Structure 1
Amino acid sequence: MFSLTLVLSALLCLTVSNALPANNVQHLQARTCGNPGDAVPFFAANGGPIQDYVASTAVAAMQSLVGAQGFTFLGVTARVFTTQETSTVPLYMVYLVTNGAVSDHIYTIDQGEYQALLEIGYRDEGIQAYVYPTQICGSVPWYAVYNAAATEHFFTTDEATRASFLATAGWSDQGIVAYVLPTNCTDSG
């Protein structure tokens, strides 16, 4: 009887110890990811007199750009957080004024780049959202492309849009700015 009890105890121990990592993984994911239900639309617009790209969580800002300033509403580019969530970092926005008009907006999570842009004359718009610095929690890349001749940045999660810009003369790849939740994000994360 002793050996049967020992064997059953060992099997039970193996079963429990094998189950723990799966539970720990789920627990770690819960601690690692922000709540996708807290994510909000990150609206995008492009245009105005200088064809500037702007993204914002603020509906009123988008309405102003599209209505009074002649921008074209591009829709929801991603889903982001408006408050810091687990594993997220600030997404800063700066803008450049050329000849009295805003000519370029740049978004970055890199504090060194953020400070360098301010030092060369970009103006601070502060934290626009909170995003992931790495591809975790069901996030997708938010790409940047740049046209030096036009001093214009464009941002997208759509690889076909990015490829289209890069196939057009003057546009260059600036890589991944951050990782955001896709527009079809569900609470499953």
Structure 2
Amino acid sequence: MTNHCYTTNVSERDACMGNGYNLQSTVAMILACPSPEGDSVPLFRLYVDGKDHFYTTSALEKELVVRRGESTFDEGIAGYVYICPKDDTIPLYRMYHPVIRDHCYTANAAERRSCIGSQGWKDEGIACYVYPPA
């Protein structure tokens, strides 16, 4: 399968595995609720064209993707993240593969370099800041 799905829900993870997804390691940790300080933002999740789980912190980008006319499903808020670095957070990188039309997210800089350097992924920069896996 050439589609990545990231979830905080164990039941959804198990259902995805039953539908051909491979379980990989935890990419990062995100907040289930807005931070008490009020400096976190929603991480929106969309399912685009039956192939791509897409995540963004931008309400405008979310609306642009929905309006493109593809079959896009707004799957709501996956959790809460930061758009600026905070103590103990790390960058979550976003990449896109135009051939397979899939986004990939990683907090591992070496994995990011490898994907961009030899696997056809295009760098889309830092998506947000998250906590490292536990």
TM above 0.5, one fold?
yes
**Following superposition of structure 1 onto structure 2, how do residues 172-187 of structure 1 map, counting pairs within 5 Å?**
172-184=122-134
How far does residue 63 in structure 1 lie from its aligned partner after superposition? 0.5
Equivalent-residue separation in structure 1 for 2:110 and 2:34 (angstroms): 30
Max Rg structure? 1
How far does residue 157 in structure 1 lie from its aligned partner after superposition? 0.1
Aligned length: 130
Partner SS for 1:176: strand
- Greater share of helix residues, 1 or 2? 1
Which amino acid in 2 is paired with 1:165?
A: C
- 5+ residue gaps in structure 1? 1-46, 185-189
Offset from partner CA, 1:112-158 (integer Å, 9 cap, x none): 10110111132201100100111112110000111111111100000
How far does residue 169 in structure 1 lie from its aligned partner after superposition? 4.6
Give TM-score, length-normalised by structure 1. Answer: 0.66
- 5+ residue gaps in structure 2? none
- Greater share of strand residues, 1 or 2? 1
Give TM-score, length-normalised by structure 2. Answer: 0.92
1:91 paired with 2:43, answer yes
**Following superposition of structure 1 onto structure 2, how do residues 27-42 of structure 1 map, counting pairs within 5 Å?**
none
Of residues 24, 30, 55 in structure 2, which corresponds to 1:74? Answer: 24
Higher normalized contact order (CA 8 Å, seq sep 6+, divided by chain length): 2
Which amino acid in 2 is paired with 1:64?
A: A
Equivalent-residue separation in structure 1 for 2:57 and 2:42 (angstroms): 6
Identity %: 28
Equivalent-residue separation in structure 2 for 1:137 and 1:164 (angstroms): 27
Equivalent-residue separation in structure 1 for 2:76 and 2:118 (angstroms): 31
How far does residue 76 in structure 1 lie from its aligned partner after superposition? 1.0
**Following superposition of structure 1 onto structure 2, how do residues 114-129 of structure 1 map, counting pairs within 5 Å?**
114-120=62-68, 121=70, 122-129=72-79
